[in-house]
Chains A and B, each alone.
Chain A
Amino acid sequence: MRDYIAKRLLLLVPTLLGITIITFFIIQLAPGSPVERKLQLEEGIKSEAITQQIVEETKKLYGLDKPIYERYWIWLKQIVTLDFGRSYKDHRPVIDKIAERLPITLTLNILSILLIYLIAIPVGVYSAVKHGTVSERASTFFLFILYSIPSFWMAMILIFFLGGGEYWNLFPVYGILSPGAENYPFFEKAVNFLWHIVLPVFCLTYGSLAYLSRFQKGSLLEVLREDFVRTATAKGLPRSKVLLKHALRNALIPIITILAGILPAMIGGSVIIETIFSIPGIGQLGFESVLARDYPMIMAIATISAFLTLIGILISDLVYVLIDPRISFEGKS
């Protein structure tokens, strides 16, 4: 098993390299450098010669005067020591800004993943057991509809009806804490936080939830047709035991691997949902950095989110091998 993990960790390197190379070249080869953009924003229009001089100096300051492959090499050498450079926007170390915001995004997404699995599995089991009945078909259709509702539309509808417009004012739609709530005692602060993230977490959750419960249903239905399930029923085990102990255990296996596919999508979802709800997480930071052409920030976010995704995939693969004795580490590699 140790060999397998080592091999997989080694394979992370080329993948991460690939992701950083693509991102680096896309943003660095694009027309319009951050220097000009910064000058436009801050300096207004000065005389041509002075501006040209400032551009050159600023480029030198950020190391933008070197050829692109050299810049990538410099960037890579820094990354190895976990030095992501400083943000072009406010000159703070990139790693600090990310450290501030990553916990918020991780909290939201981990909560959302927990909810997805906690709800999707029972719903999937229910639909598989009641397969073909009217209530099952209704719930399957409802899940299909839910799956197709764009999350940003759902967010706008929720804000419109529950966020204090002409209708109910049940949930806050801005930020993660009420103004002044930083000084609340711990418990009240936690409640305030949870109250704020109800709508965003719902928007992050329902799509994958619907997808996963459909998947769970299909997987369980397939297992229920297997011989060993018939054997278990034939030897007189109660239906609940056959279902939960013999069938469900096997049907859970593919569900775990799905996690690998959900993770990259969750990062995209965070960008949209955090921007709509003004949540100071990585998604919003990414969106702001893209707008400001903050090269070091964009590179750091792409690298870190890709790394987290790869780790997530690795974990789901490991769990897969651990719970399914038919698959060995040797066989998988």
Chain B
Amino acid sequence: MTEQRSVGYWGSVWRKFRKDRLSLAAFIVILLLFGIAVFQNFIAGNKPIVLKYQGEYYFPAVFTYPEFYGTDFKELDKTLTQGEFAIFPPVRYSPTENDLLSILNPPSKEHWFGTDDRGRDVLSRMIYGTRISLSIGFVAVGISVVIGIILGGIAGYYGGKTDFMVSRLFEVMMTFPVFFLILTILAFRDPSIYNIMIVIGATGWTGVARLIRGEFLRLRKYEYVEAAVALGGNDFRVMMKHMLPNALAPVLVDATFGVAGAILVESALSFLGFGVPPPDPSWGDVLSQSQRYVDFAWWLVLFPGAAIFLTVTSFNLVGEGFRNAIDPKFRANE
């Protein structure tokens, strides 16, 4: 028996998305960035991926061994005897490894992207910055999507007075000079990575909330929703189970653009010195160093900026392709 399975809604969206080669390329770039974020320890670091030492195998890049506490593996590498070996990551520097003998070196064979004013390897800092940027982007957007769905859902589902009150809250948030607010909050709390995620998330939910509100106001009048309510489904169940799935696609498009925006805000914060606390690496932080050496240190301007740009563009392109793929539905909401 052969069963022809239908591709379903998301399957057909993917088919359309795939046809736009630029968006597909951007999607692949994002996957690569994820790869870098997940496998950062195998790509850069001063600890070997595999070490055979005195007859034993070690994986210092992944695990910490008490017997190697404080060991400089590069020195150890020179003392290895026959049959012993160490395989280092392609970039042999840790992002926090200072080398005062090679400060502000231009790109060379040793440091492909040059070094910063503490002699740290720029490429290594950028590789480790990928995980920070992506996680801030995704967690912040996750937070704002949840807030947006809850507030937008309440406004759209109940309508009337509730809608009026919640809409005032939207208006407050939309007219807020948000970047200034974020800067203020972070200046008054410690700028930890979690605070950055929470603050960006808690200030960026208006887009999602308005989408959900509009969609819920429309869906609320549909017979199937009335039926669900009449059958005794409680409000929460009706909203989450029957209404939300029909409003999800435009929200996901908005979230994709949101990730780009959140990464941009994080790098701007780090650039101003309010971002990820040192010595943790961040693209914005590397770029902010360039302010002091702008008359010659082009590698501090070019590489981190290009990384931010590439990531932001990719998320925007994917969002664009995604929006075009779900177009008929999205258009109806506008």
Contacts and interface: CB of A to CB of B under 8 A. Distances in A.
Interface string B315-330: 0110010000000000
Given A150-B264, A264-B174, A159 B180 contact: no
Contact of A309 (B177, B271, B316): B177
23 contacts: A15-B175, A18-B168, A19-B172, A19-B175, A22-B172, A31-B189, A144-B313, A148-B309, A148-B316, A150-B264, A150-B308, A150-B312, A153-B305, A157-B305, A160-B301, A165-B294, A264-B177, A268-B177, A268-B178, A269-B179, A290-B183, A293-B187, A309-B177
Contacts of A156: 287, 290-291, 294, 301, 305
B175 A313 contact: yes
A163 interface: yes
B177 to A, nearest CB: 4
B28 interface: no
Contacts of B290: 156, 160
A14 B177 contact: no
Contacts, number: 129
Nearest to B189: A30
B309 A153 contact: yes
B300 to A, nearest CB: 9
Interface residues of B, number: 41
A251 interface: no
Interface of A: 11, 14-15, 18-19, 22-23, 26-27, 30-32, 141, 144-145, 147-150, 152-153, 156-157, 159-160, 163-166, 261, 264-265, 267-269, 271-272, 275-276, 286-287, 290-291, 293, 298, 301-302, 305-306, 309-310, 313
A164 B295 CA distance: 7
Interface string B246-288: 0000000000000010001001100110000000000000010
A159 B294 CA distance: 7
B184 interface: yes
- Looking at chain B's contact residues, the main secondary structure is helix
Contacts of A141: 22
B276 to A, nearest CB: 16
A15 B313 CA distance: 34
A286 B184 CA distance: 9
B184 A26 contact: yes
Given A11-B168, A26-B188, A264-B175, 7 more contacts: A160-B290, A165-B296, A264-B176, A264-B178, A276-B291, A290-B187, A302-B180
B279 to A, nearest CB: 21
B72 interface: no
Interface in B148-196: 168-169, 171-172, 174-181, 183-185, 187-189
Interface of B: 22, 168-169, 171-172, 174-181, 183-185, 187-189, 260, 264, 267-268, 271-272, 287, 290-291, 294-296, 298, 301, 305, 308-309, 312-313, 316-317, 320
B47 to A, nearest CB: 32
B316 A147 contact: yes
Contacts of B183: 271, 286-287, 290
Q: What 4 pairs across the A-B complex have the smallest Cβ distances? A: A268-B179, A30-B188, A153-B305, A165-B295
A309 B177 CA distance: 8
Nearest to A163: B294
Chain A CB within 10 Å — which of B271, B296, B316 has the most? B271
Contacts of B298: 160
Contact of A267 (B179, B184, B187, B308): B179
A157 B188 CA distance: 31
Contacts of A302: 177, 180-181, 184
A306 B287 contact: no
B274 to A, nearest CB: 8
B1 to A, nearest CB: 46
Contacts of A298: 184
A26 B178 CA distance: 13
A294 to B, nearest CB: 11
A30 B185 CA distance: 8
A301 B305 contact: no
Nearest to B313: A148
B180 A286 contact: yes
Contact of A268 (B174, B180, B189, B271): B180
Nearest to B22: A141
Contacts of B187: 290-291, 293
Given A19-B172, A30-B188, A160-B298, A152 B180 contact: no
B317 A144 contact: yes
A286 to B, nearest CB: 6
A23 B180 CA distance: 10
Contacts of A149: 309
A22 B172 CA distance: 10
B294 A160 contact: yes
A26 B181 CA distance: 9
Contacts of B271: 152, 272
B204 to A, nearest CB: 12
A271 B189 CA distance: 19
Contact of A15 (B172, B179, B272): B172
A265 B179 CA distance: 8
Contact of B268 (A15, A144, A152, A159): A152
B253 to A, nearest CB: 15
A10 to B, nearest CB: 12
A30 B312 CA distance: 32
Given A14-B168, A160-B294, A26 B179 contact: no
Contacts of A160: 290, 294-295, 298, 301
Contacts of A290: 180, 183-184, 187
Contacts of A153: 287, 301, 305, 308-309
Contact of A305 (B177, B260, B267, B294): B177
Contact of B175 (A31, A159, A310): A310
